[in-house]
Structure formats: C-alpha cells, structure tokens
Chain A
Amino acid sequence: MKGAGLDGVSVHHVTRRTFCRWVGAASAISLGCSGAPETPPSSTTGRSKVVIAQDPKLRDTRGKLSPQRVAALLNRALQALFDRDHPAEAWHQVVRPGQVVGLKVNCLAGKGASTSVELVEAVCESLQQAGIRPDKIVVWDRLNADLESAGFRIRERGPGVRFIGNDVLGYSDELYAHGKAGSLVCRTLTEVCDVVINLPVLKDHSITGVTIALKNLFGAIHNPNKYHLNAGDPYVADVFMLPPIRSKVRLSICDAFTPVYQGGPSYMPQWMWPFNSLLVSLDPVALDYIGWQLIEQKRAEAGMKPLRELKREPRYIFTAADAQHRLGVCDPQRIQVIRI
C-alpha cells in the first residue's frame, strides 16, 4: 500500500525538512500555528483571533440548516478572520490553487453530533471559488463507515470532491513520536494532502472534558484509544505536535451549530443547544479555550458542575500552549474574540 494515492490525486511526500524550508522562507508562523507561506499572523495586535460567527436564522422553521445561510456565515467568518473584503481573498490566505486540501471532519458520533454536511459543502464550494479543483479536495475521517453515518457519501475516485476514510489508505510506515505520544499517521494526511483544514464539532467529552480543534486530530492517528488517560493531558497536545499534523493543519473551522454541553462526544439531543455559530481561528489552542468557555457557560446555565469538579478539566489546552508545545495561546488576554 506504500505510495497509494487517490485516483487522480498525485501522491507526494513533503518531508519535514522541505516543509521547514518552505515555511521558513516566508517566516510566517504565527503564534505557533503551523504557518503556510500566505498565512499572516492571525491579528495585527499579536493576539490570536477567534471569530464567533452567529446566524440566528441558520435553520428553517423545520430546523433544517439552510445551505445558503451556512455558506454566507462561513465566508463572513473567514473575511473577519483575515480582514478581507471578498471571500476568495480570505480563502487565498489559507490555500492556493494546485494544492490538495484535506478537510478533517469529525464523524464518530454519527449524524446529529458530527460535522454538518452543509458546512462541508460550503467549505468545498468556497475552496473551488478560490481556485481549488474539486478533485483536489479530500474530506476524510477515520473510517468510511463513520463518514457515511454522518451523512457523507463515500467517493474514492472520479472527478468530484473525495470522501474517504483512513481505512482505505491506511497509516504511515513511520512511527511519529512526541512527548508521550507515539503513533502512525494516516496516509491521507501524510501523503495526499498538502494542507488540512480542521472541521471539528464543539462538544463536551466524558473523559477529556471537551473535544474541539486539538482533539479532532486524534482521528489522524492509528491509536487514539491510548490517549484518553489523565483527561487527555498531555496526549492531545502531543499528538498535535506530531510533525505531519503540526505542519499541515492550517485553519480550524468549528461547527458549533448545535454543540453538546453534556454527555459528549455521543449524540445527546437533550444536552445540545441551538448556538447556530461557527468558531474560526488559525490558532487551535485559542479556539479550544474559547470553545471550552462556551461549554462551561452553558453547563453553568443548566445548573451543571464545571468540568474541573468532575475531574475532566481539559488541561491539555494549557499544555498545548506551554513552552514545550507552543501550538497557540490560551491566555484570554492574548485572545481577540470577534463576534459577528
């Protein structure tokens, strides 16, 4: 299976060294986010921007997401993040034509608590408007079955956008290690994608406190079940540090349409609320910190205990920001929240 690729998508290997040269030339790493040549610092103030874009009318009267409104919300969020007048200009800060763009969705919980089909469609549409060919867009998660259970149709080849589980291409031969993590990384990420856009869901997690942007990359490795000890600390941060992951994940767009504030990561309709929002950031740590606060706030409103008292405070978010990781910032003073 070595060198296996998707039909029509060339498989190539960006080694760590090439990547560093590539990034170094542009000196564009901001706040520890894995930078791309075009990626600017996420704000002009030296702080990490987190955009919370909300649309109360995102759903129709029957509760169905409006694809047009989701697309509009997404583009507004990207424009706010990059301070651009036109959506395509904003997307050009993330990707450039010719690149293979991976979209890491979160489908383990099945329909209702997974990345929305409407959001993925909107991202695909925006990427195409930014010049990315549809066959260069790869929507992926752990298993084909997981993607299907979240409402996606598997498409491993052909002219359109690809939808493919890691069970198709398998995992790297190389064992990547950082701190307490040692894992094989899916070939979809290591060999197919140039850039990954992280599309997590905003959810409570019964073991790790919350699962948002950082933890979504557990779906890129072969052994996530080993890393839920100690509420995921430092494992979540260590996994994100694995070179192929850290170097390729460019942007996080969190689906917070109906977040789960208790009972996650499973689908728990009784503990979800219609937040109708997207959280967007170049800094996955800042995004996780803000997302965590939103969940705590909702839990408090519902009379539930804070995660700390339940021994599942997501301390891995702080670890991700420490001197050994520098994946982003979690100091509220250094996070600029932009609500639109």
Chain B
Amino acid sequence: MDRQLASSNPATQVPVDQAPLTECAYRGFDTPCWERREFLKCAAATGTYWLVNPLWAARTNDAVFTREARHYEKLPHKQVKCVLCPRECVVDDRERGYCGVRENRSGTYYTLVYSRACSAHVDPIEKKPFFHFLPGTAAFSVATAGCNVNCKMCQNWEISQVRPEQVQAMYLPPDKLAQLAKQTGCASIAYTYSEPVVFYEWMYDCARASRPLGIKNVVVTGGYIKEKPLRELCKVVDAIKVDLKGFSERYYQEVVNGQLKPVLDALLVMKSEGVWLEIVYLVVPTLNDKEGELRQLARWVKSQLGPDVPLHFTRFYPQYLLKNLPPTPIATLERAKQIADAEGLHYVYIGNVPGHPGENTYCPRCKRPVVERIGYQIRGVHLNRGKCKHCQQPIPGVWKS
C-alpha cells in the first residue's frame, strides 16, 4: 500500500533556487529518495542556496505555491463554488474548502499546493499498487498536503489531513519533477500518498511536462472527482488506481466521509476514457467485509468495467482513528478473493501480505503464474509481448516492450 515514508514535521523549507538533484536521489526501493535531510545535504554539496526556515510555511513565501484554481465558479458576495470534486464546496471569502488546500481570496479561488511537494520518493510501481502496469519499474512518487475525504483508517493522515502550511514542503515545479523522474530512471511519475484530486492543477501540468520525456503518469486516488476535470485528466495520464473503499453508502458516510455513487461514476468515466485502471479494496474487519457486499462489488466490477480490471483486496492495519480494530485476518482476504474469483473476475489479488500466492498474476486460461511477486519485488515475468508465455493468452495491461 502506498504509505509515504517521509516524516511530516511542522516545518517548511522553500527552495529559492533549483538544485540539480541527481546526486542525492537515491535509487533504492522503499527508501525515501528525497527526504529533507538528504535534500539539504545535496543542496549544500552543490553549493546551492536554500532558504531554510524551521517554522511554518505561512511565515515563508506562500505565493510561489499559489495559483488560481481551474475548476470553480464565482458566486455573488465573493463566494465561490468548487466543481472539482462531488463535494462542491461553497466557500466564503477568506475560507478554505473541505480539502484544506484551496482558498477563496476576495472571490477568486486558489490552490495553495501548486508545486508544493510534501513527499517525494522513488517507489516500486508495485507499491501503489499497480500490478499490470510496467511491473518492476520505479515510479517517482509525489504528494502535497490535503484530501477531499477523511477516512478513519487513513495511513497517511499526517499529510492528507493537514493543511499545506502544517507540513514540510519543497518547491517542485512541473519541469523540475519531470527532469527528476528522468534522472532517477523512473518509468513513471505517481501522484499518490494523499489525494491527487486536491492537487489537480500541479498533477495535470506535471503530466503534460513529463510526457515528452517518455515518462508515464499514474494516479492513485479515491476517485472522488467530478466528470469534467476527470475527463480532462484522463487525456494526460496513463493509469489510475482507485481506492474503492467500500461498497455501501453507509460505509462511505460513516468511515470515509464521502459518497460511493460519485466514485462508481468516476470509475465508469475512467473506463470509457481508456486509461489503464486497477482497483484496491481495503478490507476492514467488521466494517466492509460482509460477503454480500463483496459479492455485489465483484458483480458490479465485472458487469460495468469488465472481468479484466485487476481488483486488489488489501489488508488493513489499525491506524489514525480506527485503532480499535485488529488487522484483517488473512482468511478474510482469501475469502474475498474466492468470492471475486467465483464471480468471474480474472485478476484478483491479495495485498499487504508479503509472500502470499495471491500476489501473483495467473493466466486466466492455463492458470500458470505469469508475473510472480514477493512483496513489491518481481520474482519472475513469464510474458511475451503481453501474452502468457505458456499458452499465448493475452494478459491485459501495459507491459515493457
């Protein structure tokens, strides 16, 4: 699961210059490539001047991260209505939307997180997880503060549930991010950890800036986004992984602080736009693990998105505001997989259980493994031009040529 590794101390440093970062970018999986300490070391080594302010961003120059938002409407009396996500916040002057990263200033709505990266790591793409998208490659993974829901089990709440000025951040404009991804040998940039919908403008521009360099762009999201911005985004990104958090409105209301219906609508839009799509379902004991709910989910995915969309059932660990529940029993995950398999989905995985055979991709025809994994590591790929080596069955996905 895509947990960010950097700490989120209440401090902010804003680079006033752009440093070459090749020296400090650490190309190892599971290791933060660009945590603040390394970052400063690198900056010192390269003799680049950085404004280091150990206080909060509000005391530094916020203006570099501030851009007019793209999806909102102006209302009378200096109010604005955000139309980026289904929440459609109506925001008074000087106030912020639910996400905490968009602010109304005298009737103009601004994103405060443009180029404001609070996390930047080189991760295996399997960590997102994407299992059918360039397996074994690295994704330059970035996030800003903020989220448009508030899940009680959020594993990254220290960045997703805070305001941008409450977390360390660095200035990372689109062209610089694209270069960094290239220099660190990443096949893709992943917008992840918090909720990329809330840093839409930066994500969109980064995707456009990195494509000419041959970098793919992948989005890890809760899918809580309105149709228009989503369709525009789908034109510039290559893959989307949606955290479908449950399959009942009640769960979305009580645990996620959102709604299920708009997420299902968004999944249909993604499918229709032709981006590569994978779904993760975090199985939380007693809250979203009922057999009927899981069966309904599998049926919906098969009938609406098709049997080839990968579905990952991942293990919950107690976090944030849901510390009173145990980790998901492995038997529960196995039962969920059995249900989805039985409903006819071709690629059902078990996640967050390193070494489980449910991490492998099996050919739906000859049933032999075509991609073998242990944790985030690839142990074997038995594909030939996207087809099973054993029986030539095409395996859907985006594979290395």
Query: Which of A1, A109, A145, A182 is the one whose CB lies under 8 Å from B11?
Result: A1
Q: Is the CB of B92 within 8 A of A223?
A: no
Question: Does B100 make an interface contact (CB < 8 A)?
Answer: yes
Q: How far is the CA of A117 from the CA of B21 in the complex (A)?
A: 49
Question: Does A143 make an interface contact (CB < 8 A)?
Answer: yes
Question: Does B49 make an interface contact (CB < 8 A)?
Answer: no
With contacts A144-B58, A228-B98 known, what are 17 further pairs, Cβ within 8 A?
A108-B95, A167-B55, A167-B58, A167-B165, A168-B55, A170-B56, A182-B152, A206-B79, A223-B161, A223-B163, A225-B97, A229-B98, A265-B92, A265-B95, A266-B77, A266-B78, A266-B92
Residue of A with least CB distance to B150: A226
Q: Is the CB of B98 within 8 A of A226?
A: yes
Q: How far is the CA of A171 from the CA of B78 in the complex (A)?
A: 31
Q: Is the CB of B94 within 8 A of A145?
A: no
Interchain nearest-CB distance for A160 vs B (Å): 21
Digitize A195-210: 1 where CB-to-B-CB distance is under 8 Å, 0 elsewhere.
0000000000011000
Q: Is the CB of A223 within 8 A of B56?
A: no
Q: Is the CB of B161 within 8 A of A226?
A: yes
Interchain nearest-CB distance for B78 vs A (Å): 7
Digitize A155-196: 1 where CB-to-B-CB distance is under 8 Å, 0 elsewhere.
000000000010110110001010000100000000000000
Digitize B25-55: 1 where CB-to-A-CB distance is under 8 Å, 0 elsewhere.
0000000000000000000000000000011
Q: How far is the CA of A143 from the CA of B56 in the complex (A)?
A: 10
Which residues of A approach B to under 8 Å, CB–CB? 1, 108-110, 143-145, 165, 167-168, 170-171, 175, 177, 182, 206-207, 222-223, 225-226, 228-229, 263-268
Q: How far is the CA of A182 from the CA of B158 in the complex (A)?
A: 12
Q: Is the CB of A263 within 8 A of B77?
A: yes
Interchain nearest-CB distance for B228 vs A (Å): 23
Question: Does B320 make an interface contact (CB < 8 A)?
Answer: yes
Interchain nearest-CB distance for B252 vs A (Å): 13
Query: Which of A1, A177, A268 is the one whose CB lies under 8 Å from B10?
Result: A1
Q: Is the CB of B257 within 8 A of A222?
A: no
A264: chain B residues at CB < 8 Å are 92
User: Main secondary structure on chain B at its contact with chain A?
Assistant: loop
A229: chain B residues at CB < 8 Å are 98, 257
Q: How far is the CA of A168 from the CA of B166 in the complex (A)?
A: 10
Digitize B130-172: 1 where CB-to-A-CB distance is under 8 Å, 0 elsewhere.
0000000000000000000010100000000111011000000
Interchain nearest-CB distance for A5 vs B (Å): 14
Query: Which of B54, B59, B92 is the one whose CB lies under 8 Å from A144?
Result: B59
Q: Is the CB of B100 within 8 A of A167?
A: no
Q: How far is the CA of A305 from the CA of B95 in the complex (A)?
A: 24
Residues of chain B in range 225-267 having any CB-CB distance to chain A below 8 Å: 257
Question: Does B69 make an interface contact (CB < 8 A)?
Answer: no
A265: chain B residues at CB < 8 Å are 92, 95
A145: chain B residues at CB < 8 Å are 58
Q: Is the CB of A222 within 8 A of B162?
A: yes
Q: How far is the CA of A143 from the CA of B257 in the complex (A)?
A: 27
Q: How far is the CA of A268 from the CA of B78 in the complex (A)?
A: 10
Residue of A with least CB distance to B101: A225
List 14 interface pairs A-B (beta carbons < 8 Å), by A numbering. A1-B54, A110-B94, A167-B56, A167-B59, A167-B165, A171-B166, A206-B79, A206-B90, A206-B92, A223-B162, A225-B163, A226-B161, A266-B93, A267-B93
Q: How far is the CA of A225 from the CA of B162 in the complex (A)?
A: 10
Q: How far is the CA of A207 from the CA of B96 in the complex (A)?
A: 12
Known contacts A1-B11, A266-B78; decide if A222 and B166 are in contact (CB<8 Å).
Answer: yes
B325: chain A residues at CB < 8 Å are none
Interchain nearest-CB distance for A201 vs B (Å): 14
Question: Does B99 make an interface contact (CB < 8 A)?
Answer: yes
Question: Does B321 make an interface contact (CB < 8 A)?
Answer: yes
Interchain nearest-CB distance for A59 vs B (Å): 25
Residue of B with least CB distance to A145: B58
Query: Which of A206, A226, A268 is the one whose CB lies under 8 Å from B257?
Result: A226
Residue of A with least CB distance to B78: A266
Q: Is the CB of A182 within 8 A of B320?
A: yes
A170: chain B residues at CB < 8 Å are 10, 56, 166
Q: Is the CB of A171 within 8 A of B10?
A: yes
Q: Is the CB of A225 within 8 A of B56?
A: no
Residue of A with least CB distance to B321: A182
B161: chain A residues at CB < 8 Å are 223, 226
Q: Is the CB of A225 within 8 A of B100?
A: yes
Interchain nearest-CB distance for A180 vs B (Å): 9
A177: chain B residues at CB < 8 Å are 321
Interchain nearest-CB distance for B85 vs A (Å): 13
A268: chain B residues at CB < 8 Å are 77
A109: chain B residues at CB < 8 Å are 93-94
Q: How far is the CA of A228 from the CA of B90 in the complex (A)?
A: 11
- Ranked 8 nearest A-B pairs via Cβ: A170-B10, A167-B58, A167-B56, A225-B100, A266-B93, A182-B321, A266-B92, A225-B96
Q: How far is the CA of A206 from the CA of B96 in the complex (A)?
A: 13
A1: chain B residues at CB < 8 Å are 9-11, 54
Interchain nearest-CB distance for B377 vs A (Å): 33
B56: chain A residues at CB < 8 Å are 167-168, 170
Residue of B with least CB distance to A107: B94
B92: chain A residues at CB < 8 Å are 206, 264-266
Residue of A with least CB distance to B9: A1
B257: chain A residues at CB < 8 Å are 226, 229
Q: How far is the CA of A167 from the CA of B100 in the complex (A)?
A: 15
Q: Is the CB of A108 within 8 A of B94?
A: yes
Interchain nearest-CB distance for A51 vs B (Å): 30
Q: How far is the CA of A103 from the CA of B163 in the complex (A)?
A: 24
Interchain nearest-CB distance for B64 vs A (Å): 16
